[in-house]
Amino acid sequence: MLRRPRCVRSAGEHLRERRAGPGGTELRTYQPARMDVATLVATVFVFALFAFFMVLAVLTPDEFVGAAGTVLVAVVIAISWQFRPFRYEIRDGAVTIVRGWPFKSITIPLADVREVRIVSLRGLTVRTFGVGGLFGSGGWFWNKELGRFFASVTNIKHTVLIANGQSFVISPERPDEFIADVKQTIGRR
């Protein structure tokens, strides 16, 4: 029997769903938090750069420079869009960071979780292998508090740490509810 999803509208106008997943398991979905100001500024800058190269391609005698710049920036935008988190799912004893093709979704098993809490990424955080700024930040980072961690965030002010031998930092729209749902899932085992 198919059940209609129960949807909860938040103050941020994003949607959080609770519905039955495959095999009748409960699936809880969280949207990423809205972009913080720095991420939004970086994203707008890259789109302005894209527009600049498009105009350059049309107005300059050397169309190759403008066309090559346009293509390069378009590829960066497309890759960054697919790399960002589309949503976070809690189901079957795991948290999944759902990303776009060709990037695989990342599944974080909750079986060995030692810690789930709100964490701040303000201060010195070093990107060791990843992207930052366009639509969010993702990849491997390091800071003094967390050490080495994998981040898939859209807003550095709404971040949650999930530590299970490795550290993962994500930015669900409603971090407190997300943490409560993860702890409830862990408690059911």
Q: What's the token pair of residue 120?
A: 């701040």
pTM over 0.85: no
**How far is Cα 61 from Cα 57, in angstroms, rounded to an integer?**
8
**How far is Cα 138 from Cα 175, in angstroms, rounded to an integer?**
18
Task: Please report, as a single letter, which amino acid is at residue 184.
Answer: Q
Task: Quote the pLDDT of residue 157.
Answer: 87
Average pLDDT, the chain: 82
pLDDT confidence bin for 163, thresholds 50/70/90: very high
Task: Quote the pLDDT of residue 81.
Answer: 86
Rounded average pLDDT over 6-23? 47
pLDDT above 90 covers a percentage of the chain that reads 38
pLDDT over threshold 60, residue 25: yes
Rounded average pLDDT over 28-52? 89
Q: What's the token pair of residue 104?
A: 């695989």
CA dist 108 → 97, 129, 150 (Å): 8, 19, 11
pLDDT confidence bin for 133, thresholds 50/70/90: confident
Rounded average pLDDT over 47-71? 79
How far, rounded to the nearest angstrom, does the alpha carbon of residue 172 sit from its chain's CA centroid? 8
Three-state DSSP class for 18? strand
Host H or E run for residue 38: helix 37-59
Q: What's the token pair of residue 100?
A: 């776009």
Q: What's the token pair of residue 111?
A: 């079986």
Rounded average pLDDT over 117-125? 85
CATH 2.40.128 fits 6-36+83-187, yes or no: no
